[in-house]
Amino acid sequence: MTLIRNGLMALVVSFGATFSALSLANEEYRLTAFADVLGYAQIKSKDIASAKEFVSVRSEKKLDFLELNNLCVLGVLIEDFNAAIDACKVAIEKSGKSREIGFSSKKKALASIHSNLAVAKALSGDLEGAQYELQMALSLNSRDTNAILNLAWLETSNIVAGL
């Protein structure tokens, strides 16, 4: 991870998910992917076939927490919510062992991961778990735009009706 040094976090790129399990026109959740780490190219391309192939050949053991976050995002995009949840959980666990970025940057990255985990949980039907993850995200970074928007999405969407 030579690109991430001296407490600088990789550029965070946010985008509205275009591959949603519940693609109602007025519903939008947001995911955060980290640039310059594994998986970002597949996310940016929005190519589902490429994303599925990428996810199927990756081992969580060899990925760092930023790469695991991207794996989580890919899981949501290909609608494999269990894989997304697992990748996000492992990313959160591994973040504590990482010394590649500074404390403040790590908190912001963790907030993004919790927000992504919330989306995966919500789309899998675990609305209470999603609510909890969004609260965790906002406790780590109260200014995380995606977490704020995801909380509004969770509270106002028709996600319950779609399950």
pTM (2 d.p.)? 0.78
Q: Residue holding tokens 């062992």?
A: 97
If pLDDT is split at 50, 70 and 90, which confidence band does 36 have? confident
Q: Residue holding tokens 């399990």?
A: 21
86 Cβ contact list (under 8 Å, min separation 6): 60, 75
Is residue 33 helix, strand or coil?
A: strand
Report the DSSP beta bridge partners of residue 15. 31
Domains and their CATH numbers in the chain: 12-162 (1.25.40.10)
Structural tokens at position 144: 């995380």
For residue 6, the one-letter residue type is N
CB atoms within 10 A of CB 156: 10
If pLDDT is split at 50, 70 and 90, which confidence band does 85 have? very high
105-149 residue pLDDT tens = 889 999 999 999 999 999 999 999 999 999 999 999 999 999 999
CA-CA distance, 159 to 111, in Å (whole number)? 22
- Pairing of β 12-16 and β 30-34: antiparallel
The distance in angstroms from the start CA to the end CA of the chain is 40
10 Å CB burial of residue 158 (0-12, 13-18, 19+) is exposed
